[in-house]
Amino acid sequence: MKTKLTLSLIAISLGLTACNSNQANSNSSSDSTASTAPDTTSYPPVETQKPNSDYKPAFNGQTRIAGAKTSTAYEGKVIAEGLKSPWGIVSLPDGRFLITEKEGDLRIAGTDGKLSEPIKGLPAVNSSGQGGLLGLKLDPDFESNRMVYWVFSDNTPSGTLTAVAKGKLSADEKSIEDAKVIYQATPAHKGNLHYGGRIVFDKEGNIIFSTGERSDLETRPLAQDLNAALGKILRITKDGQPAPGNPFIGQSNVRPEIYSYGHRNPQGLALHPETGDLWETEFGPRGGDELNRIQAGKNYGWPTITYGIEYKGDRVGEGIQQKEGLEQPVYYWDPVLSPSGITFYTGQNIPEWKNNLFICGLSSTHIARIILKDNKVVGEERLLGNEGQRFRDITQGKDGALYAITDIGKLYKIDKK
């Protein structure tokens, strides 16, 4: 009798373990009802699909790290619809949001779901392909000067290019006044892909923004060319001049605005809230999406090294993943995440998310929660995977909640239940 009872208890225990494992492998839905008790369990990696290549990581934990699961009950709910291909979002001082729309307009969205009429007065954009009105940031002194800075795809006689502009939000919030282009990432190219387009302010008040290498085979090598602004992280003043302290200032045949190089299409930039380090996400080709910690003057390898392959299946270049003098990504995805906007969580509503990085996934249709420790990824979770949305950008609101926009025009609030 004791033997039968023992075997029954073992069977029940194994069954519960299997249920927990299966639950950990599934995408987090928009409505989490997990216990608020701390969860220190290590789950299987969230990625279960076959990779595109047989490439091996350079170190343990560089890809397919252990899964994680938020123990606090949270929910993701749509609070606004009707945005037209939104691309960038920032929180205004009063708790509302300023949002770029790809076709060339700005809008203001309230937490009540109310959308403003389009804000006019911005320079024309080329919205074909991946171009348009892209990332934006408020001036650190916005409350006193009302200045807004944005990135967009600009038309020139030689083709399109990534540009940065600034202007003042009018008192009635209907227009941008005195809009001015302060920087153009040359050379221009007759194509409509890989503009990069994210922008942040550093602690000195300088602008850091990203440019893509424009995708085509003839422009790819420019990511390695220090006399071209393509495939770079650039650092400039509010007037568009090279920022003091940049790593290549004073060197001949090198653009002094360059901060780092060897990038493919970086669409995520964020400063760590405690260390101040700059973190970046960029698209790989077929596989090889990257998370990088950006350091001044470093070469991040594209297209010389990559963990991805060409879309048609061939190797990129020599097909190598490591080379002396080229930086390894802190983390990479294969299959791709298609990472766009990113933000660090500093709110108090869900303490276990403190200093975690949240990454918008496009083709992967989820938000990735990345847990960092000592500049390494130690856990990954998928949020809102059941929503089926291409998440484009994310920010933290004044209320401590996360807010994310999607390509079809939805604004989500993600917060504790």
Catalytic residue IDs: 194
Judge whether 133 and 124 are in contact, CB under 8 Å: no
273: exposed, middle or buried (Cβ count in 10 Å: 0-12, 13-18, 19+):
middle
Decide the pairing of beta strands 74-80 and 86-91. Answer: unpaired
Contact assessment for residue 229 and residue 180, using Cβ atoms and an 8 Å cutoff: no
Residue 405: CA count within 13 A, CB half-sphere: 32
Give the strands of the sheet with 258-261, arranged side by side.
199-201, 207-210, 232-236, 258-261
CA–CA separation, 109 and 232 (whole Å) = 31
How many CB atoms sit inside 10 A of residue 108's CB?
18
Say how far apart CA 240 and CA 181 lie, in whole Å.
9
- List 383's β-bridge partners, or say none: 367
User: Cα–chain-centroid distance for residue 360?
Assistant: 6
Outline where DSSP puts E strands in 45-146. Answer: 74-80, 86-91, 97-101, 106-109, 133-138
Tokens 């001082």 correspond to what residue? 93
Distance separating alpha carbons of residues 284 and 256, to the nearest angstrom: 26
Which residue is associated with the tokens 């109310």? 114
* Torsion, CA 88, CA 93, CA 95, CA 99, rounded to 10: -20
Contact 64, 45 (CB under 8 A): yes
